[in-house]
Amino acid sequence: MTARVGVVTFPGSLDDGDAARAVRLAGAEPVRLWHGDPGLYGVEAVVLPGGFSYGDYLRCGAIARFAPVMETIVDAARGGLPVLGICNGFQILCEAHLLPGALTRNQHLHFRNRDQFLRIETVGTAWTNAFQPGQEVLIPVKNGEGCYVADPATLDRLEAEGRVVARYLGGNPNGSQRDIAAITNEAGNVVGIMPHPEHAVEALTGPSLDGLGFFTSVLKHLVGAPA
């Protein structure tokens, strides 16, 4: 039976269609979820896509965190539902306190859009088990508020617990502390990533196919999950 993966659309979402396409290319059925509807309709995983939810007013992700669908997703994530937050989705996960830290204005104060090498640090998550530890991947990055920050104790804990999922290679595009590009929660079911894996799933439009592994990983995870 084909896995069903929800993709949320908020007002101002930009990459929800691309995320749904990536889910389909990975072999799952994308299910479009609406910010104002708390129902998840039986999906087995959720993607929070990139964009500018609610116009990035107040702070990026600060309003989206209170959307009716997010109330359901937060509860489900705490119960083990795999959730991937990409760019703005990562910001929403931090605002919802499913992930620690925050994403702030790029240190150089410029929007950065380029193909970016990453090193996969952690493969024990629902969204990275298709990779090898230390694998280098090429995925686009595009953000203006992508600088990951946290207090030193939180950063040390993320390092010690193996919760840094990916780091920037070949130059840090936004000033993120310790070159952090992606992190996970303690259980490994929630991952936030600032670069855009959904833009690296087809040779025609992406710099590589490396992003597809994030989406095939969750299918592998779901197959192995207890019924």
CB 51 within 8 A of CB 14: yes
pLDDT of the residue at 68:
98
- Give the H/E segment covering residue 221: helix 212-224
Residues 185 and 99: their CA atoms lie apart, in Å, by 6
Q: What ranges make up the beta strands (E) of the chain?
A: 4-9, 29-34, 45-48, 83-86, 102-104, 112-120, 136-143, 147-149, 164-169, 180-184, 190-193
pLDDT in tens, 36-60: 999 999 999 999 999 999 888 888 8
Catalytic machinery residues: 87, 196, 198
User: What domains appear along the chain, each with residue ranges and CATH number?
Assistant: 4-224 (3.40.50.880)
Distance spanning both ends of the chain, measured CA to CA: 13
Backbone φ and ψ for 134, nearest 5 degrees, come out as 85, 0
CB 128 within 8 A of CB 197: no
CB 219 within 8 A of CB 193: no
User: Residue 225 — pLDDT band, cuts 50, 70, 90?
Assistant: low
pLDDT in tens, 134-143: 999 999 999 8
What pTM, to 2 d.p., does this model score? Answer: 0.96
Kindly tell me the sign of the dihedral angle through the C-alpha atoms of 30, 33, 38, 41. Answer: negative
